[in-house]
Amino acid sequence: MRDQLQAKPKLSSLLLLTIAVLFTHWMAFFNEGIFAEDAGLFPTLIYNDWIAIADMFSSAGVHVFTYYVWPMAFAGNVFFLKSIVIVGVYFIALLSYLLASKSGFFSERESLVLAIFTQLLPIPTITVIFTYSIYFTAYALFLLATYMFLSIEWMRGRNHYLLRALAICVYFIAFTLNSLLVLYAAGFALVYAVWLKRTGRRVRHARELISTFSSFCLARADFTALPIVYWAYKVILYQKSGLYSNYNSFTLDVESIAKNSYQFVVNGIIFPLAKSFDGWNSYLYLGAAVCSILFVACFVFVNRGNARNAQIEEQSGDGFKIIGFGLFALLCGTLPYILVGKSPAPGVLMRNAMLMPLPLSVVGIGIWRAVKFRSTNLRSQGVAVALFVALLSVFTGRWWESYAAWQARAAKDLAVSQYLADHPEWSAFSVYWIADKFPMSPEVSEYGFADYTSKFRMLWGGQTRMAFTPGHISFFGIDTQPGVRPVHSKFPHRIAFFCNAWASAKDIDLSGPQAELEITTTQRSWNNASIAFGYLYFRFIEPTGLRDYQAKLAQVTLRAL
């Protein structure tokens, strides 16, 4: 019997996958904006604040991330740091392809399509934030460990034990992203299913399922006990502290579970997919369509030689089994967030949905195979090509719109920084009340105090200034009006916790002088794409005009209180 499980990955497929990732995410490489949690991390890297970095990750109980971040201080290049996120996305897609192809449940062509859609589904749209490269890297390591776990089934002797030990070590590092402890159940189930297929065992009733699964677990007791051992190790040795004491604690009431489950369906699946078909920027989607047609032409050309064998494999009746496994993996990827009261929300909180694209891609492949098995019309290559082009165009266009929005925000923030740099006398105040009247897309409009405080530190030096945005006025419980000294908070412990080196406000004096910082635009009409590509044009093609472009983009005024 031909053993598809040992088929080697095709070089042409790896090349196509690389092109697909670059095709989807190229704009992320040119984004130099500092957003959200990057606003805390970037200054600490620039000033080599090792203690601040260690304290931050220690308080959240994720010490391993400290050792991931420290070497990045020597990069000294924001473009390099941003690219690390896309490297993580690429390896997630690559390892998804390798796992699918090695499992034997997908044809070569299906494995490649699965990997393409794993990085293409417009769900976790936070790839311009360097801090989240930590999560993508942990996820990639998890898939790598699962691939090694699967590979040891065909190894014997010293290599078997070396790879086994290495897989366990990689899992241990990846589990720092604790949601992967639950996704591990899906990886374990995949290896079990491959073991059944490889050994030719059949499970006909519950008793056989219990006996075969028990023997599988006993023979791999180290992998079986691994998540329990890791959880005990983390709880005993790495306690959370400060405001993170109850971070990600279980919230098991029915209302919270129902609400967050609903949000995963609405915000994690329906919203991003529906937004892909709504409010198109015609130029972005036209460009995405042209690129998609060229890519699919290459895809068809590369796969034309083994198309007949692929059709035979893909017409098997395993579609519903694949759908079932995809839904199980989707449950494993969402349940850990639901149980701690979290769910995705448009903007940076879409990071909570980062484990969804791969399971959804598996479900999509299963649906396509199940429908095609029952319909002779869908077995035509033309139908598959047309659907592939359409989905590639729509989802790529959505990614490009998201990147354009983040790039427009970066252009705005750099224009604001230019004003601050040109007015060093504005640095004399302690508290800045932000009045941001600059129109931004809801996806990228959220600002925190650290977004501005970090600018103050990097442009003016010192950690003596605090910025209050409307959202964080509520978060900090500020109950005094602008201009009243000292600034008073109903939650002084929050002020004390966040006024540290990580937030660039370690030496803040809330009794000091205050000012209002107002940000407006000089643009009569606002369009993310035109702002984004206008900035990129002056940044890389005509740099002499960049300063004038930024001066015309935003206007910043300061009023002492």
Could you read off the pLDDT of 297-323 as tens digits, one per residue? 999 888 776 555 555 456 566 889 999
CB 427 within 8 A of CB 509: no
Query: Which pLDDT belongs to residue 376?
Result: 64
Query: Which pLDDT belongs to residue 191?
Result: 95
CB atoms within 10 A of CB 470: 12
Query: Which pLDDT belongs to residue 276?
Result: 79
Query: Which pLDDT belongs to residue 313?
Result: 58
Return the biggest CA–CA distance within the chain. 81
Query: Which pLDDT belongs to residue 314?
Result: 61
Give the residue from 117, 97, 110 showing the smallest Cα distance to 8.
Answer: 97
Tokens of 227: 């998540």
Distance CA 91, CA 173 (A): 16
- Vertex 173, ends 171 and 179: CA angle to 5°? 75
3-state secondary structure of 77: coil
Tokens of 457: 């530190």
Mean residue pLDDT of the chain comes to: 89
Query: Which pLDDT belongs to residue 168?
Result: 96
pTM of the model: 0.93
Query: Which pLDDT belongs to residue 305?
Result: 62
Residues of the chain with pLDDT under 70: 1-7, 305-317, 375-380, 524-525
CB 119 within 8 A of CB 26: no
Query: Which pLDDT belongs to residue 396?
Result: 94
Distance CA 456, CA 420 (A): 8
CB 395 within 8 A of CB 276: yes
Distance CA 19, CA 120 (A): 12
Q: At what angle do helices 307-314 and 108-120 cross, to 10 degrees?
A: 80
Give the residue from 515, 487, 61 showing the smallest Cα distance to 243.
Answer: 61
Q: Is 511 exposed, middle or buried (0-12, 13-18, 19+ CB in 10 A)?
A: exposed
Strands, E assignment, 116-251: none
Distance CA 138, CA 103 (A): 22
Give the residue from 363, 361, 353 showing the smallest Cα distance to 333.
Answer: 353
Residue 110, C-beta contacts closer than 8 angstroms, at least 6 positions apart: 100, 310, 313, 314, 365, 369
Tokens of 219: 């023979």
